[in-house]
Amino acid sequence: MKIDLTKEEDLLKYSKFMKTHKEDGIYEKKRFDLCMKYAKRDSNGKPIINHKTKSYEIVNRKLFNNEYEELNNEYKDLLNFYNTPIEIRIKTEMRKEKLKRILNGYK
17-52: pLDDT as tens digits = 666 667 778 888 999 999 999 999 999 998 888 888
Q: What is the pLDDT of residues 49-64, one digit of tens each?
A: 888 888 888 999 999 9
Question: Could you give the 3-state DSSP secondary structure of residue 87?
Answer: strand
| Domain chopping of the chain, boundaries | 2-103
Handedness of CA 32, 38, 39, 44 (dihedral sign): positive
Band (pLDDT 50/70/90 cuts) for residue 78 is confident
- CA atoms within 13 A of residue 78's CA, in its CB half-sphere: 16
